[in-house]
Structure 1
Amino acid sequence: MRPSDVAISNYRSIRRLFMPIQPLSVFVGENGVGKSNLYKSLSLLRDAATGRITRTIADEGGLNSVCWSGMRQRGDDARLRLAARFDNIKYSIELGHPGPVEAAFPGEPMIKSERIEAIHGKRKVLMMERTNSHVSVRGENGAWSEHRDAVLPSETALADFLDGKAYPEINLVRNAMQSWRFYHDFRSDPASPIRKPCLAITTPSLSADGSDLAAALATLYAIREDAADLQDAIEDAFPGAELRAWEDSGRCEFDLQLADMPRPFKAHELSDGTLKYICLLAVFMGYRLPPFIALNEPETSLHPSLLPPLARLIAKASRRADVWIVTHSEHLMEALRSESSVPLRRVIKAKGATAIEGLTAGGEFRDGEDDRDDDEDNDD
């Protein structure tokens, strides 16, 4: 399942946003307007599916650090709310601080509620509801099953109710969001794993840190036995160059032969920008693309000459997956608009909150570029 829209409330600089997911969504803005918070909030939804959302929030400093950073009116709560809708199913989660009688560490982020709704036109049917540690699930016959003390405050029902036959809606949402991929940056220092051989394991999608880069490339050569598109993309970015990837004694390696060099260069010898571009090739040209791919400032460390080929790479991948790009590069934005006619989505600050120009409260863009139906219900 591919997501159709997301809702975010009380996350850092985001007071309240409800927005559609298009095949290619590109957000550009100046530093400090909250672009990265868009990316991170969606990553938290994936963490709900893996069961790590409370740990991630704790790692970021706890709810006091990640919740809405602006002014609050008296009576406003400090709860973080996230939701994602797929074509006919919606998942939402709410997190808050421990109550006075709840068993938790001081300041620990707690999951207060989770909901899964099946959507049939304007009709919504609640399929799963979690309140604190009490989980209720609707079965195939419409009857509810009650599960008291089924989960800890730090655990999601989405990650813990694993019986796909008994809980098909939970299983569908969990699998959909677990398959999302987020790429923030690729380390390129001498000790980085992307510069080293890796285990020879069939790798359909590049991992978030790129540690299986050589295996992802070698999968195209040795498993698919067709790397023609990859070579075309290398030619587009580095005219006259040739990329090779192979398996040797249980390890995968790759090298790049540049047109003006007498010998090929292995990963540990490549420049930071060249190596990061090869990572992006693996992201967008893998054996099997994830249904949703999000990248935060993919242009970092790239020479300006690589931005048009990167735009072509992204535009082509958006035919196979939903692609979400957050960037501060106007040049990349213009290259993407040239390659895909993607509308400009500018991230701004409005009254201290992150906002997107042209986005209405109902999740539509005033420029008419978004042809998705209005959900009419933009609660979180």
Structure 2
Amino acid sequence: MRPTDISISNYRSIRRLFMSIQPLSVFVGENGVGKSNLYKSLSLLRDAATGRITRTISDEGGLNSVFWSGDRRRGSDALLRLAVRFDHVRYSIELGFPSPVSAAFPGEPMIKSEKIEATHGKRTVVMMERTNSLVSVRGENGAWSQHKDAVLPSETALAGLSDGKGSPEIDLIRNAMLSWRFYHDFRTDPASPIRKPCLAITTPSMSADGHDLAAVLATLFTIRQDAGDLQDAIEDAFPGAELRAWEKNGLCEFQLQQADMPRPFRAHELSDGTLKYLCLLAVFMGYRLPPFIALNEPETSLHPSLLAPLARLIVKASSRADIWIVTHSEHLMEALRNEGSVPLRRVIKAKGATTIEGLTHSGEFRDETYRENEDDDED
């Protein structure tokens, strides 16, 4: 299942935002407008599927740190709300502070409610509803079952209730969100695991930290036995270069032969920018891509000459996966614009709140509305 829209309320600089998700979404903005919060809010939703959402919030300084940073009206509720829709199924979660009688540590973020709703035609049916510690699940026969204290205030029902027979929608949403991949940055220092051989395990898509980069590349060379597209992408970025990856004694390694170098360089010898670009190649050209990929400022550490090849990588990969890019690089934005009708969105601040130019209250963008109206006129 692919995500079709998201809703965010009271998260950092985002007061309230609802938007549809396209196969390729690119958001550009200056420093400080809150564009990274778009990326982080999606990552938080995935943490709901793993059951780590309250721990992630605590790691970031607690609910006070991640809650809406603007002015609050007296009497307004202090709830962080996140929601995502997958075609006909929607998941939502609300988090807040513990009440005086709650079984929680002071200041600990608590899950106040969760809900899964399924839409059939014009009819919407609640399939799972959680209020504090009480979780109610609608079975396949339509009957409700209640689970008192099945999960702690710090645990999500989405992760805790794994009996798909009771409500298959829970498993559908959890598995869909667990398949999302987020790439924020790749360590390229001398001690980085990316610079070392990794275990020879068939690896269809790269992990978030890139430690299995060599295995992803070797999977293409050895398991699929077809790295033609990968070599074409190498030629596009580094003219005259050749990449090789292999398995030996249970480990995977790779090397890059540059046209102006007398010998090939292995991972521990490559420059930071070159190694970072090889990581992006693995993200977008793996044996099997995750259905949803989000990247935060992928252009960091790259030479400007690599931005056009990167744009071509991104556009080509968007035919295999939904891709969400957050960047502050106008050069990357221009390179993507040159690749065709890529929807480029500018992130701004309006009255202290992060928003996106052209975004309407219905979650669509004005240019899309105009395009639909033009199509209707032609019909």
* TM-score category (smaller protein): over 0.9
| Aligned alpha-carbon RMSD (Å) | 1.1
Name the residue aligned to 2:148: 148
Name the residue aligned to 1:178: 178
- The 5-angstrom pairing of residues 25-40 of structure 1 reads 25-40=25-40
Name the residue aligned to 2:193: 193
Task: Write the deviation string for residues 15-67 of structure 1: whole angstroms up to 9, x where unpaired.
Answer: 00001110100000000000100000000000000111000000000000000
- 1:298–1:370: structure 2 CA closer, same or farther, 3 Å change rule? farther
Give yes or no for the alignment of 1:133 onto 2:133. yes
CA distance in 2, matches of 1:195, 1:160: 37
Name the residue aligned to 1:164: 164
Name the residue aligned to 1:300: 300
**TM-score, normalised with respect to structure 2:** 0.97
Question: 8 Å contact 1:161–1:167 — kept in the other structure?
Answer: no
CA distance in 1, matches of 2:11, 2:337: 29
Name the residue aligned to 1:267: 267
Q: Which runs of 5+ in 1 are unaligned?
A: 373-380
Name the residue aligned to 2:66: 66
Find the residue that maps to 1:19 and give its secondary structure: strand
Q: Post-superposition, which runs of at least 4 consecutive aligned residues in structure 1 deviate over 3 A?
A: 369-372
Structure 1 residue 282 displacement after superposition: 0.3
Question: 8 Å contact 1:206–1:283 — kept in the other structure?
Answer: yes
Structure 1 residue 167 displacement after superposition: 2.3
CA distance in 2, matches of 1:327, 1:222: 34
**TM-score, normalised with respect to structure 1:** 0.96
- 1:50–1:206: structure 2 CA closer, same or farther, 3 Å change rule? same
Name the residue aligned to 1:378: none
Give yes or no for the alignment of 1:103 onto 2:79. no
Name the residue aligned to 2:113: 113
Task: Write the deviation string for residues 288-332 of structure 1: whole angstroms up to 9, x where unpaired.
Answer: 100100000000000000000000000000001000000000110
- The 5-angstrom pairing of residues 87-102 of structure 1 reads 87-102=87-102
Structure 1 residue 181 displacement after superposition: 0.3
- The 5-angstrom pairing of residues 1-380 of structure 1 reads 1-368=1-368
Matched to 1:5, the amino acid is: D
CA distance in 2, matches of 1:293, 1:370: 28
CA distance in 2, matches of 1:315, 1:220: 20
Structure 1 residue 139 displacement after superposition: 0.6
CA distance in 2, matches of 1:210, 1:164: 32
Structure 1 residue 124 displacement after superposition: 0.8
CA distance in 1, matches of 2:141, 2:86: 23
Structure 1 residue 224 displacement after superposition: 1.0
CA distance in 2, matches of 1:161, 1:243: 45
Q: Which runs of 5+ in 2 are unaligned?
A: 373-379
Find the residue that maps to 2:141 and give its secondary structure: coil
Matched to 1:123, the amino acid is: R
Find the residue that maps to 2:366 and give its secondary structure: coil
Find the residue that maps to 2:367 and give its secondary structure: coil
Q: How many residues align?
A: 372
CA distance in 2, matches of 1:11, 1:185: 22
- 1:67–1:99: structure 2 CA closer, same or farther, 3 Å change rule? same
Question: 8 Å contact 2:137–2:166 — kept in the other structure?
Answer: no
Task: Write the deviation string for residues 135-182 of structure 1: whole angstroms up to 9, x where unpaired.
Answer: 100011100011111100010111111122332100000000000000
Q: Identity across aligned pairs (percent)?
A: 84
Structure 1 residue 368 displacement after superposition: 1.6
